[in-house]
Chain A
Amino acid sequence: MKKILCFACAVLMMVLCFAGCGEKASVSASKALADPDAAKGAEITFTVGFDAEFPPYGYLDTETNEYTGFDLVLAEEVCKRNGWTLVKKPINWDLKDSELEAGTIDCIWNGFTMNGREEEYTFSSPYVDNSQVVVVRKADKINALKDLAGKSVEVQKESSAEAALTSTEDNEKNLALAKTFKELKSVADYNTALMDLESGICDAVAMDIGVAQYKVAANDKLMMLSETVATEQYAVGFKKGNTALCDKVEETLKAMVADGTFAKIAEEWELSDCVCLK
């Protein structure tokens, strides 16, 4: 009974949606860029596909009952600057490829990890870097992850770095790496970990790249290994080959970086430490 009701609702919504589309001439941003003539006089929509359960990038704000998030606010600003209308389209994450293929969304913009997917999509430059890196003492001659064998490594308790080194799901490489350590210790906060590193209590600290860059820049005794424990960069994903729209969005984003809007939005969402678009 419930299922039937849901189905009925879905059908109804689809009908309403099509009806709405029919009323005004509107064309997607992808099409508009490919065929500028066809878009003349029509409303240009920019449809962002996102998984509504991924805060703070895209989620349903239960107070206002509207979709919001860092990525959606960025998209809003991109649209504003291009005269487009933003359509927020929560999608079934498993069907993201078909949605892109069918043109029902213009892009996937939702804390979308680009690493390992480079061949499948056309990506903008990464704008968030969640990579987990290793910080060591310059004096120690530790240059690669394999040099950490027999060393004492610290992570912040309940951090992504801790998860990256201890998670048992699909993580053989890092688990094997962690096994080579003398010990892997979780400490209360990354400041303690870095104090332990500096004073010699531990030999390496695994942590978020954003904080690591900041700390290494401030302390000339420390350095970051170029090899990462986990690489995780977020970018906007477009249908493979849709470089025109990708370039347009990227261009707009870079303009936002240039005038400080990007940094301001990042700050509002407390993501200043991990945004990386320059």
Chain B
Amino acid sequence: MESVLEFFKNLWNLLVQLSPSMLTTIEIFLLTLVLSLPLGLLVAVCRMSKWKPLSWLTRIYISIMRGTPLMLQLFVVCYGPYYMFEIPLTGEWPFIAAIIAFAINYAAYFAEIYRGGIESTPLGQYEAAQVLGYSKGQTFFRIVLPQVVKKILPATTNEVITLVKDTSLVYALAIVEMFTRAKMIAAAQTSMLPYLAAGIFYYAFNYLVAFLMERAEKKLGYYQIK
């Protein structure tokens, strides 16, 4: 009984110890989402552009983002400016680079999700909007996008959960987020407990994400799309 209590006390202490670095993880997560969700929409629109060069360029961009490891992209964004363009970097750069790399990587994934949603919108919706006199912009933002959001929510939830777990990759740029911190503590204490604490954090975080997304899905459940 006592040892069980001790175990939970240790675990709690670890979670407290890890909490500052959890903020870093959450910061990376939120910044990535805030940037990549709108950027993904822009990419999707470019990808579907009738102007071929733009469409092809975006297609190549998406293919590279999806076809190479995120870890590699982190390195390229972080060190590329110096090694390719000789731009001197600073100590703050790795964090910014990590956010940029995450944002452009996730934007590519989100763009494909958006595209699927946009392209599955029935032609009749566009025609109805046109005959009713909506402009192209109004049609997209008032008619198409709200329906797309509902359709893509489940796929987006998957990506967002992956993002939570992917945040640990920034250790490659020596940014101390939660998992790196847990590894350090684990090495110092030669204990597996920090990993358990890290796992609990990720699980709780993702549980919250899934919960919120489910709420959103329910909120949009008031209507059906054929």
The short answer to whether A and B are in direct contact, CB under 8 Å, is: yes
A residues apposed to B, CB below 8 Å: 152, 154, 158, 182-183, 185-188, 192, 195-196, 198-202
Q: Does B1 contact A (CB under 8 A)?
A: no
Q: What are the residues of chain B within 8 A of A183 when measuring CB–CB?
A: 91
**Interface-forming stretch among B82-90, B127-135, B205-213?**
B82-90
Give the total of B residues in contact with A, Cβ under 8 Å: 16
Most chain B beta-carbon neighbours within 10 Å: one of A182, A198, A201: A201
Whether the Cβ atoms of B93 and A201 lie closer than 8 Å is yes
Chain B residue nearest to A193 in the complex (CB): B174
A186 to B171, CA, bound (A): 10
Whether the Cβ atoms of A182 and B91 lie closer than 8 Å is yes
Q: What are the residues of chain B within 8 A of A182 when measuring CB–CB?
A: 91
Q: Which of B88, B171, B172, B187 meets A200, CB within 8 Å?
A: B88
A198 to B174, CA, bound (A): 15
The 9 closest A-B pairs by CB, nearest first: A199-B82, A200-B89, A187-B174, A200-B88, A199-B89, A152-B91, A201-B89, A185-B174, A195-B79
Q: What are the residues of chain A within 8 A of B194 when measuring CB–CB?
A: none
Whether the Cβ atoms of B82 and A200 lie closer than 8 Å is yes
Whether the Cβ atoms of A199 and B79 lie closer than 8 Å is yes
Q: Does B94 contact A (CB under 8 A)?
A: yes
A274 to B115, CA, bound (A): 57
Q: What are the residues of chain B within 8 A of A198 when measuring CB–CB?
A: 82
Whether the Cβ atoms of A202 and B171 lie closer than 8 Å is no
Most chain B beta-carbon neighbours within 10 Å: one of A152, A186, A199, A200: A199
Q: What are the residues of chain A within 8 A of B171 when measuring CB–CB?
A: 188
A48 to chain B: closest CB distance in Å?
34
A199 to chain B: closest CB distance in Å?
3
What mask results when residues 186 to 202 of chain B are scored 1 for a CB within 8 Å of chain A, else 0? Answer: 01000000000000000
B94 to chain A: closest CB distance in Å?
6
Within 8 A of A (CB), among B62-79: 78-79
What mask results when residues 157 to 192 of chain B are scored 1 for a CB within 8 Å of chain A, else 0? Answer: 000000000000001101000000000100100000
A136 to chain B: closest CB distance in Å?
14
A232 to B94, CA, bound (A): 33
A119 to B84, CA, bound (A): 53
Q: What are the residues of chain A within 8 A of B91 when measuring CB–CB?
A: 152, 182-183, 201-202
Q: What are the residues of chain A within 8 A of B83 when measuring CB–CB?
A: 195, 199
- 14 new A-B contacts, CB < 8 A, other than A154-B174, A201-B93, are A152-B91, A158-B187, A182-B91, A186-B184, A187-B174, A188-B172, A188-B174, A196-B174, A198-B82, A200-B82, A200-B89, A200-B90, A200-B93, A201-B78
Q: What are the residues of chain A within 8 A of B90 when measuring CB–CB?
A: 200-201
Q: What are the residues of chain A within 8 A of B184 when measuring CB–CB?
A: 186
